[in-house]
Amino acid sequence: MALKNSPILGLQSFLLLVVMFMLPSLLFTKPNGEPFSFLENLQGSHQGQKLEGVCKLKRYLEKFGYLQYNDHSTHANDEEFDDQLESAVKVYQLNYGLNETGTLDSRTMEMMLRPRCGVPDIINGTTRMRSGKMKRHQPGPLSFHIAPQFAFFKRRQKWPYTLTKASLTYRFRSSVEVIDLQTLRPVIAQAFAKWAFVIPFTFSEAQESQTHWNITIGFHKLDHGDRHAFDGPGGILAHAFAPTIGWFHYDADENWSPNPNTNQIDLESIAAHEIGHVLGLEHSAIPEAVMYGLFSAGEQKRELHSDDILGIRTLYGLDR
Whole-angstrom distance, CA of residue 222 vs CA of residue 231: 6
239 labeled binding residue: yes
Which tens digit of pLDDT belongs to each residue from 138-165?
333 333 334 567 888 878 889 998 756 7
Mean pLDDT in residue range 227-256 = 97
Structural fold of domain 166-315: Collagenase (Catalytic Domain) (3.40.390)
228 labeled binding residue: no
Which tens digit of pLDDT belongs to each residue from 289-306?
999 999 999 999 999 999
Every domain of the chain and the residues it spans: 42-113, 166-315
What average pLDDT is seen over the chain?
85
1 labeled binding residue: no
> Of 282, 279, 250, which is closest to residue 265 (Cα–Cα)?
250
Which tens digit of pLDDT belongs to each residue from 57-96?
999 999 999 999 887 788 888 999 999 999 999 999 999 9
Q: Which helix (H) or strand (E) holds 306?
A: helix 306-315
Instruction: Give residue 163's pLDDT.
Output: 58
Instruction: Give residue 320's pLDDT.
Output: 61
Whole-angstrom distance, CA of residue 273 vs CA of residue 292: 8
Long-range contact pairs involving 315-319 (C-beta distance under 8 Å, separation at least 24): 315/152, 315/156, 315/158, 315/279, 315/280, 315/281, 316/158, 316/161, 316/199, 318/199, 318/200
> Of 250, 234, 240, 318, which is closest to residue 281 (Cα–Cα)?
240
CATH of 42-113, one of 2.40.50.140, 1.10.101.10, 3.20.10.10, 1.10.10.10: 1.10.101.10
Which tens digit of pLDDT belongs to each residue from 224-240?
999 999 999 999 999 99
| 274, 282, 288, 299: the active-site residue | 274
> Of 243, 307, 304, 312, which is closest to residue 272 (Cα–Cα)?
304
Q: Given a cut of 70, is residue 314 above it in pLDDT? A: yes
Say whether 288 is catalytic.
Answer: no
Which tens digit of pLDDT belongs to each residue from 4-44?
444 444 544 444 444 333 433 333 333 444 899 999 999 99
Residue type, 287: P
| 81 CB neighbour count, 10 Å cutoff | 24
Q: Given a cut of 60, is residue 53 above it in pLDDT? A: yes
Instruction: Give residue 257's pLDDT.
Output: 98
273 labeled binding residue: yes
Instruction: Give residue 155's pLDDT.
Output: 80
86 labeled binding residue: no
Instruction: Give residue 73's pLDDT.
Output: 81
